[in-house]
Amino acid sequence: MTPPFENFTGIVEPGSLEARLLARLDPHKLPRHVAIIMDGNGRWARQRGLPRVKGHSAGIKAVRATVETSVRLDIPVLTLYAFSVENWKRPMSEVNTLMELLKEYLRKELPEIQENDIRFHAIGRIHELPRSVRRELRHVEQESRFNRGMKMVLALNYSGRAELVDAFNSLLLQGRTRRVSETEVQRSLYTGDLPDPDLLVRTSGEMRISNFLLWQIAYSEIYVTDVLWPDFRSHHLLESILAYQKRERRYGGIRSRSLQGAR
């Protein structure tokens, strides 16, 4: 395998689907930020006659595969939507299981996070999460704070509208009385120091944004796959990036060829 995909050498079998997808990827057009709505855990479990929570625990394998592949690709930022403000409406037992899974994931994954130089950060109304979850989150954030590799962002108790409200309130609390600019609002978001997602992936086929990164995805390319989150693996991520690379991003402008024609 030629650089810059050399991180896959010895990991990906020559001739495999992943190897073929990597060969088609343009290393110079990788997204700087990939955001993912991990959906379909419940349906995955139902299809197997299992309780919904089994779908969530199976979803952790997909999280691992996605993080690992993003690191190997040198994607600078990966944001995963793990728990929304609206998810509190689910049965208490399901919410509790999600919180336990999250703590277990953080405890088990810290060595991998360190080994892969990942800088971990949680966004959302973190102060409303149970104390034991906050403690694990803070621990991983603290331990990984000097890492220089991929930024892994976990959206927890997150809502795009709540994020905007929090951003405006933080501006008000700073004593802001004059009009604010787009840059000031952007910097006040939870993601104020991150580039906007270039690619937004949603699994399980639903054509919805579900209150995720509402401001930040203004010009993101959206990729929806029917694959249920627990089945999502490295090659699915590579497929989404390949689809992204085929898109023509215009940011409200017109195609460069048309532009020449208009001159």
Q: Can you read off the two tokens belonging to residue 255? A: 């195609």
Q: For residue 211, indicate whether it is catalytic.
A: no
Nearest-angstrom CA–CA distance, 155 and 133:
13
CA angle (97 as vertex; 212, 145 as ends), nearest 5: 60
Nearest-angstrom CA–CA distance, 25 and 51:
38
* Residue whose CB is nearest to ligand FPP in the complex, by number: 42
Q: Which of 7, 26, 87, 117 is catalytic?
A: 87
Q: How far is the CB of 206 from ligand FPP (least distance, A)?
A: 7
Asked if 36 touches ligand FPP (CB under 6 A), the answer is no
Q: Which of 7, 26, 39, 74 is catalytic?
A: 39
What is the footprint of ligand FPP within residues 149-178 (CB under 6 A)?
154
Q: How far is the CB of 121 from ligand FPP (least distance, A)?
A: 13
Nearest-angstrom CA–CA distance, 97 and 114:
26
Smaller CB distance to ligand FPP: residue 6 or 86?
86
Q: How far is the CB of 102 from ligand FPP (least distance, A)?
A: 5
Nearest-angstrom CA–CA distance, 86 and 157:
8
Nearest one of 202, 229, 204 to 217, comparing CA atoms: 202
Determine which residue in the list 102, 118, 122, 213 makes contact with ligand FPP, applying CB under 6 A.
Answer: 102
What is the footprint of ligand FPP within residues 109-148 (CB under 6 A)?
none
Asked if 85 touches ligand FPP (CB under 6 A), the answer is no
Which burial class, exposed, middle or buried, applies to 214 when counting CB atoms under 10 A from its CB (0-12, 13-18, 19+)? middle
Smaller CB distance to ligand FPP: residue 59 or 197?
59
Asked if 63 touches ligand FPP (CB under 6 A), the answer is yes
Asked if 56 touches ligand FPP (CB under 6 A), the answer is yes
Contact 80, 229 (CB under 8 A): no
Ramachandran angles phi, psi of 158, nearest 5°: -105, 145
Determine which residue in the list 223, 229, 232, 244 makes contact with ligand FPP, applying CB under 6 A.
Answer: 229
Q: For residue 226, indicate whether it is catalytic.
A: no
Smaller CB distance to ligand FPP: residue 22 or 85?
85
Number of Cβ within 10 Å of residue 149's Cβ equals: 16
Contact 105, 122 (CB under 8 A): no
| N- to C-terminal Cα separation, the chain | 43
Interface positions with ligand FPP (CB under 6 A): 38-43, 56, 59-60, 63, 80, 82, 87, 101-102, 105, 154, 204, 229
Catalytic residue list: 39, 87
